[in-house]
């Protein structure tokens, strides 16, 4: 079975102070359908740039990206992308916000509203569909933003530190909820995070990116069907933190 996503020999540089700086160098990546992959690394190593390349927001200098066997390099709207900030439009209520991807692609709004109603209990948004963003807690705003991302009807979602701005309790609650959503909707997910425990709790695979020029230096395969004991979790966390700190 072919991988759902494949990236080959990606390079990306940006002009910084008038000089080109290589951010990603010869990045190769594959993932299988319904996998949950977390990407960790030090700040500025290129994690967000990697997601932006996959989402088509920016184009690689070199290299190709394939989704379900088809070349998608530089194409937008094929993968669901959720940036760190929820970016809900403050003048629209929850329903109108989550319908934006449907309107952009000139989709069937009536059918989309039915789908939203079906998903409200799964996303914990019952009773909030007519609320404005300012009326929602941080956790509910992220749920609404995630529902909007899912309305792109992509089976592969790119999440850039979606819980970074939340308090610790809400963050833990939404981590558990995200794992449930991924299984319930049979999603493939790439999550960028600085939280090693978050990566361990959610992932099938954790990939460590080195300091710029970024590339993946190590990957850890996890078996979510068996629960790791406390010592195993602590050792894995220690191993990942050492790699991130050394920026190898």
The pLDDT value recorded for residue 196 is 93
pLDDT for the residue numbered 129: 93
Q: Are residues 178 and 160 in the same domain?
A: yes
CA pair distance 113, 136, nearest whole angstrom? 20
Half-sphere exposure of 209 (CA within 13 A, CB side): 31
Tokens of 43: 């700040």
Domain coverage including residue 221: 1-79+155-248
Q: What is the DSSP letter of 86?
A: -
Same domain, 142 and 237: no
Boundary-marking domain end, from 153, 173, 203: 153
Residue-level pLDDT at 36: 96
Is 117 in the same domain as 217?
no
- pLDDT at residue number 86: 67
Q: Which residues of the chain have pLDDT under 50?
A: none
Task: Answer yes or no: are the C-beta atoms of 82 and 134 closer than 8 Å.
Answer: no
pTM of the model: 0.90
Residues 35 and 9 in one domain: yes
Looking at the structure, tell me whether residues 74 and 89 fall in a common domain.
Answer: no
3-state secondary structure of 77: coil
What is the tally of structural domains in the chain? 2
The whole-number pLDDT of residue 1 equals 67
Contact yes or no for 6/66 (Cβ under 8 A): yes
Please provide residue 37's backbone torsions phi and psi, each rounded to the nearest 5 degrees: -115, 130
205 and 119, same domain (yes or no): no
> Do 191 and 225 share a domain, yes or no?
yes
The owner of tokens 């939280």 is 195
Write b or e for each residue in 223-245: b if 16 or more Cβ atoms lie within 10 A of its Cβ, otherwise e: eeeeeeeeeeeeebeeebeebbe
What is the C-alpha to C-alpha distance for residues 64 and 83, in angstroms, rounded to an integer? Answer: 22
Q: Give residue 168's pLDDT.
A: 86
């Amino acid at each position: 079975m072919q991988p759902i996503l494949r990236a080959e020999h990606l390079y990306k540089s940006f002009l910084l102070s008038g000089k080109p700086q290589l951010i990603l160098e010869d990045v190769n990546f594959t993932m299988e359908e319904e996998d949950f992959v977390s990407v960790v690394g030090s700040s500025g190593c290129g994690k967000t740039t990697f997601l932006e390349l996959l989402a088509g927001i920016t184009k690689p200098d070199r290299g190709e990206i394939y989704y379900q066997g088809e070349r998608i390099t530089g194409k937008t709207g094929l993968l669901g992308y959720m940036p760190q900030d929820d970016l809900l439009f403050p003048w629209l209520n929850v329903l109108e916000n989550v319908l934006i991807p449907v309107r952009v692609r000139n989709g069937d709004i009536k059918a989309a509203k039915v789908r939203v109603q079906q998903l409200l209990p799964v996303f914990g948004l019952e009773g909030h569909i007519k609320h404005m963003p300012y009326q929602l807690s941080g956790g509910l705003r992220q749920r609404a933003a995630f529902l909007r991302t899912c309305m792109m009807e992509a089976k592969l979602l790119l999440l850039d530190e979606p819980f970074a701005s939340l308090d610790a309790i809400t963050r833990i609650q939404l981590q558990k909820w995200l794992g449930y959503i991924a299984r319930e909707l049979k999603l493939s997910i790439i999550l960028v995070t600085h939280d090693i425990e978050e990566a361990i709790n959610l992932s099938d695979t954790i990939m460590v990116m080195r300091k710029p020029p970024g590339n993946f230096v190590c990957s850890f395969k996890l078996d979510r069907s068996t629960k790791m004991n406390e010592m195993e979790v602590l050792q894995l966390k220690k191993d990942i933190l050492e790699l991130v700190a050394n920026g190898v």
